[in-house]
């Protein structure tokens, strides 16, 4: 086991002392980097890039070569599980992900196979192992999955959606069917994340991208309930240290206390929640990750630095903060603006620790 040279990300997630606030970006390996676009062109398409362990490793490491980041995140996609369950994932140019088969009935749910992630998603595990070896202890590696509710929306809608009409129709009209689907997905996500941990992931994040489209009672019943089940089933200690779990619900700030009580180690915040108020609400129960508006990266570097300073000030002194964007970096951001963001965290955060 290679010794971890920089563990401040893992330490902050466990609310242990750090010398400065750790920082990484959601979608930090992506289309805003010209070197990523070149590698993707070599791969041929997005899915081919995901399924080639060496190329997935290459793009995972690209942002670390540019910026002083404190974590790497596996390059993959949240829709690998539905694809492995036989729904036939493909990508239409300009339209995002689509599935050849959709889930609309109890019969459809019953026909879903049980996922064996180590076998059915072996290319992901090969990528994890390849990246972990290439990192050689430089920074920790984050594994991830979509939440059951988020995965279900794509599986029922057949792709992206603006109003989630079919998913909500199934949820409200046949709740027992939606619960069976979500339960099946919770088992699959648990197996998938545990396989990533065994392959070398040192922390995991669950992306509940579409939890925020639900009403309060529906969020509890159809999203958070199943994330709790996953958290309860995860490997929490591996290779001699804790494996922290981050839950991120976009537009989920109104449920912050409930998410913090799920058993996770950290809660990801989008930019609509004030991080100082969030810290006051959760106390020392969990770490917080976030939460600069990704659109701030269009601003001049001096304004970006000012925003970083403000978020650090709002969080205040002490550990338990992982600096991140409130969602993924957008493809047309200037990489030098991403640098300004990351370097501002590195330069300005030490005064809050010590």
Instruction: Read off the tokens for 87.
Output: 């729904």
281 in a labelled binding site: no
Longest alpha-carbon distance in the chain: 58
- Cα of first residue to Cα of last residue in the chain, in angstroms, is 30
219 in a labelled binding site: no
90 in a labelled binding site: no
pTM beyond 0.95: the answer is yes
Per-residue pLDDT tens digits of the chain, which is 354 residues long: 678 999 999 999 999 999 999 999 999 999 999 999 999 999 999 999 999 999 999 999 999 999 999 999 999 999 999 999 999 998 877 778 999 999 999 999 999 999 999 999 999 999 999 999 999 999 999 999 999 999 999 999 998 999 999 999 999 999 999 999 999 999 999 999 999 999 999 999 999 999 999 999 999 999 999 999 999 999 999 999 999 999 999 999 999 999 999 999 999 999 999 999 999 999 999 999 999 999 999 999 999 999 999 999 999 999 999 999 999 999 999 999 999 999 999 999 999 998
Beta strands in the chain (DSSP E): 72-73, 89-92, 96-99, 141-146, 203-208, 237-238, 241-242, 245-249, 266-268, 287-292, 321-325
The residues annotated with a catalytic role in the active site are 27, 31, 40, 77, 154
32 in a labelled binding site: no
Domain with residues 8-352, CATH architecture: Alpha-Beta Barrel (3.20)
Alpha carbon 37 to its chain's center = 21
327 in a labelled binding site: yes
318 in a labelled binding site: no
Q: How far apart are CA 170 and CA 148, in angstroms?
A: 15
Domain boundaries along the sequence of the chain? 8-352
């Amino acid at each position: 086991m290679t010794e971890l040279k920089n563990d401040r990300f893992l330490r902050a997630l466990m609310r242990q002392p750090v010398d400065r606030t750790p920082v990484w970006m959601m979608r930090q390996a992506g289309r805003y980097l010209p070197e990523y676009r070149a590698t993707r062109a070599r791969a041929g398409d997005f899915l081919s890039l995901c399924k080639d362990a060496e190329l997935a490793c290459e793009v995972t490491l690209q942002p670390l070569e540019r910026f002083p980041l404190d974590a790497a995140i596996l390059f993959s996609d949240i829709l690998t599980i539905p694809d492995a369950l036989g729904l036939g994932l493909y990508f239409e140019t300009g339209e995002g992900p689509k599935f050849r088969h959709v889930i609309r009935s109890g019969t459809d749910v019953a026909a879903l196979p049980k996922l064996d992630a180590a076998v059915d998603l072996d290319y992901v595990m090969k990528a994890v192992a390849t990246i972990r070896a290439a990192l050689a202890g430089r920074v920790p590696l984050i594994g991830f999955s979509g939440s059951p509710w988020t995965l279900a929306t794509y599986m029922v809608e057949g792709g992206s959606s603006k109003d989630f009409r079919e998913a909500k129709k199934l949820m409200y009209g046949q709740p027992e069917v939606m619960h069976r689907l979500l339960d099946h997905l919770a088992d699959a996500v648990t197996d998938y994340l545990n396989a990533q941990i065994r392959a070398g992931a040192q922390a995991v994040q669950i992306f509940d991208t579409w939890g925020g489209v639900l009403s309060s009672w529906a969020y509890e019943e159809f999203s958070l309930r199943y994330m709790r089940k996953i958290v309860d089933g995860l490997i929490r200690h591996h290779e001699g240290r804790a494996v922290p779990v981050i839950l991120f619900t976009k537009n989920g700030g109104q449920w912050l206390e409930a998410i913090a009580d799920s058993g996770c180690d950290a809660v990801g915040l989008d930019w609509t929640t004030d991080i100082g108020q969030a810290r006051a609400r959760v106390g020392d129960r969990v770490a917080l990750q976030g939460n600069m508006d990704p659109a701030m990266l269009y601003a001049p570097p001096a304004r970006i630095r000012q925003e970083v300073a403000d978020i650090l000030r709002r969080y205040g002194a002490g550990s338990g903060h992982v600096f991140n964007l409130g969602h993924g970096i957008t493809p047309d951001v200037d990489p030098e603006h991403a640098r300004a963001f990351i370097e501002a965290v590195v330069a300005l955060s030490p005064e809050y620790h010590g």
